[in-house]
Structure 1
Amino acid sequence: MFERFSENARRAVFFARAQASAFGAEEITPELLLLGMLQRPALELIRLIHEMDEDGLDRMREQIEAEIPRGNQISLSVDVPVPQELKRVFEYAIEESDTGLKTVQPGHLLIGILREAGCQAAGLLRANGAELEVLRQRMLSER
């Protein structure tokens, strides 16, 4: 599945897995994926999310971290399950990349999260100014 992901999109998934390990999470959730995307320099996310700035990204990071249940740290060598919710996010991101770049970019992952409307990460993105159609148009214009 990840062979179509760009280096930055793969890095986001890697950081999500690392966050799952650090928090002792039993599975990698869309919230952890979003947190993983916020671990690297977030200039791309700022550009993609309408009216978002570095302070807004810091607040979103803090909101996510406050909601993640804490457990004992898990070794990175242990497989952590990916729930159906995150699998759908990946599938949505792949669908979105089919309309343009053919390679899944971090913006496609954001669209995937927004399309998984019931998840907490989608709510956080919307509350911080992310709009599905605006984001989709920005990704299409990058072709």
Structure 2
Amino acid sequence: MFERFHQDARQAVVLAQAEARLLDDEHIGTEHVLLGLLRQPDSVAGRVLVGHGLDHDRVADRIGRLRTTGRRADELDAAALESIGIDLDSVREKVEATFGPGALDRAPRARRRRFGGHIPFTKRAKKVLELSLREAVNLRHDHIGTGHILLGMIREGQGLAARVLVDLDVDLQELRTATRAAMT
């Protein structure tokens, strides 16, 4: 499938991987793909997204806020465990005494990934890329560009990228129409 990707679409995938590395993530999700598209404001998808009031920093901020909400849930889980007598600090101390300091930290894996190595796509991100191919076929295009990736993301509609777009008051149907128009 990647052989059909236009240079700007390949670059979007490379940039998505870079975004995942910057965030020390263990996967490339739809949010990383969206950020990769926004890193190319002169591409079809970049122009359409900017035309809808989006930019990389605004979307990255929204992603960060949504992730912070997830961390808040982790804090609540820690409080719930403490209420039944499980002290996470003493669990950490025992693990580190056995396996060494920082044994529960993600940093060693993230450091290795910064210098190379494969970061897998999530199922939803893979689906976005597959749908981008279907969008290209439906439009009778012989290549996949950033516009097709954006159309695939809109069509998938369930990933963090779609949630971010909706949270930022982007009408997905309107975005789809604008993207298709920009590709003709």
| TM tier, smaller | 0.7 to 0.9
Match of 2:166 among 117, 123, 126: 126
- Which structure 2 residue ranges, 5 or more long, are not aligned? 72-105
| Corresponding position of 1:107 | 147
Paired residues of 1:107 and 1:135 also in contact (CA < 8 A): no
What pairs up with 1:20-39 in 2 under 5 angstroms?
Answer: 20-39=20-39
Q: How far apart are 1:24 and its partner, in Å? A: 1.6
| Corresponding position of 1:59 | 58
Q: How far apart are 1:127 and its partner, in Å? A: 3.6
- Root-mean-square deviation over aligned CA pairs: 2.7
Q: How far apart are 1:125 and its partner, in Å? A: 2.0
Task: Return the structure number with greater helix share.
Answer: 2
- TM-score (ref. length: structure 1): 0.79
What pairs up with 1:1-143 in 2 under 5 angstroms?
Answer: 1-41=1-41, 44-45=44-45, 47-49=47-49, 51-53=51-53, 56-57=54-55, 58-66=57-65, 67=67, 72-73=110-111, 74-100=113-139, 101-128=141-168, 130-141=170-181, 142-143=183-184
Paired residues of 1:6 and 1:105 also in contact (CA < 8 A): yes
Task: Pick closer, same or farther for the CA change 1:5–1:131 going to 2, 3 Å.
Answer: farther
Q: Aligned residues: percent identity? A: 30
The structure number with the bigger radius of gyration is: 2
Report the number of matched residues.
141
Task: Pick closer, same or farther for the CA change 1:46–1:79 going to 2, 3 Å.
Answer: closer
Write the letter of the residue equivalent to 1:117.
Answer: G
- TM-score (ref. length: structure 2): 0.64
- Which structure 1 residue ranges, 5 or more long, are not aligned? none
Q: How far apart are 1:119 and its partner, in Å? A: 1.1
